[in-house]
Structure 1
Amino acid sequence: MTRTLEWTVGVELVEDGGTTRAEARLSTGTSTLTGRGSARCNPTDRDVPAIGDELAASRAMKDLAGKLMREADREMEAAGAGTVPQRTGPGYGWPEAVS
């Protein structure tokens, strides 16, 4: 069976007083999820608004992705499927260094 869906993601950015806030909204047609992120310009750094936009937007999308993954995990469990096991240690380095 072939399915085609279109999901829409919109990102809204607001900058005020050296802080940029972002809200990323995913609309699936049947539900909406929202992720949030922010970035603050250090007072000693040069103000480059595009960098704050990129940081805040990426953090909002990362938050949104986490919420979408948690929703998928809940739905898999409800359907009787197992979820991916959670790591108990760091996911980097040499195996002998983390045992």
Structure 2
Amino acid sequence: MPHTVEWKVHLYLFEDDGTTKARVVLDTPTTALTGHGSARCNPVDTDVPEIGDELAAGGALHDLGRPPAEAAGRDIDGMGALATGSGTRPASGWSR
């Protein structure tokens, strides 16, 4: 059965007192999730704003990835399935 849905991601980067901060928002049809990241340039290094943006954005995206994966795990558990190889009940067909 075909399934198509659109989830929108908004990534915001800003400087605050020498620290690059990132906030990423994932909008789904049923919820909005937020992740945060930050980066600070070592005072002895050359300030390259793009590097701070990349590090902060990467941290925010990593932070954002946990809640959907955890929700999927709870949903799989709620179906009565165990992860492949973890018990005697039939394994779930879902994998990452």
Distance change in 2, residues 1:7/1:38 (3 Å): same
CA distance in 2, matches of 1:23, 1:84: 34
For residues 1-99 of structure 1, the aligned pairs below 5 Å read 1-83=1-83
Alignment identity in percent?
Answer: 51
TM-score normalised per structure 1: 0.79
What's the RMSD between the two structures over aligned residues?
1.4
Distance change in 2, residues 1:16/1:84 (3 Å): farther
Amino acid at match of 1:58: G
Structure 2 residues not aligned, in runs of 5+: 86-96
Query: Which 4+ runs in 1 deviate beyond 6 A?
Result: none
Aligned residues: 85
CA distance in 2, matches of 1:80, 1:24: 32
Structure 1 residues not aligned, in runs of 5+: 86-99
CA distance in 2, matches of 1:72, 1:47: 40
